[in-house]
Amino acid sequence: MIQYSKKVIEHFNNPRNMGEIKDPDGVGKVGNPICGDVMKVFIKVKDNKIADIKFKTLGCAAAIASSSMLTELAKGKTIKEALKITRMDIVKALGGLPEPKIHCSVLAQDALREAIKDYLSKKRSG
C-alpha cells in the first residue's frame, strides 16, 4: 500500500480548479506512456499573468493531487514565474510524494509548460 501525505489525500478528495476553460489562451496535454495517465492543463493569460488555470486529469491519485496543487501554485504568477515551477515545488507543497509517484508530479510540471508554450506560440503567430 502506498502511503500518501494528508495534503495529497485532501487535494485528491477535493481537487482545486478541476475542469476546462472554454476559449483558453493555451492548452498543454501530456501523457505518461508507462502508466497511461493523461493530463490536460488550460490557461487564461491576462497582463502576462496566469489569470485562470484549470486541469483535467485521467490518472492516479498522485496525478490528480499534483495537478490540483499545480493550479494553486501557478495562479496569479507571471508567465516567467510559472515556467519556473518544478516538480519539486509541487512535491514539496504536497508534503511529499512516495518515490514511485514522483513521475506523476513531473506530468503536472510538463503540462503547465506545454500550455505556456502553446500560449506563446499562438501569441507569436497571432
- Binding residues for ligand FES (CB under 6 A): 32, 35, 37, 59-60, 62-63, 101, 103-104, 107
Task: Name which of 63 and 91 has its Cβ closer to ligand FES.
Answer: 63
Q: Contact at 8 Å (CB) between 102 and 61?
A: no
Q: Contact at 8 Å (CB) between 57 and 67?
A: yes
Three cell numbers, residue 27? 492548452
In the complex, least distance from residue 63 CB atom to ligand FES, rounded to whole angstroms: 4
Give yes or no: 60 in active site. no
Closest CA to 28 of 106, 123, 108, 115: 115
Compute the Cα dihedral for 112, 10, 56, 49 and give only its sign. Answer: negative
Q: Name the 3-class secondary structure at 124.
A: helix
Task: Name which of 41 and 63 has its Cβ closer to ligand FES.
Answer: 63
In the complex, least distance from residue 64 CB atom to ligand FES, rounded to whole angstroms: 9
Give yes or no: 104 in active site. yes
Considering the candidates 9, 18, 35, 120, report the single residue annotated as catalytic: 35
In the complex, least distance from residue 112 CB atom to ligand FES, rounded to whole angstroms: 15
Measure the CA–CA gap between 8 and 77, rounded to whole angstroms: 22
In the complex, least distance from residue 82 CB atom to ligand FES, rounded to whole angstroms: 21
Residue with the CB atom nearest ligand FES in the bound state: 35
Residues tagged active-site: 35, 104
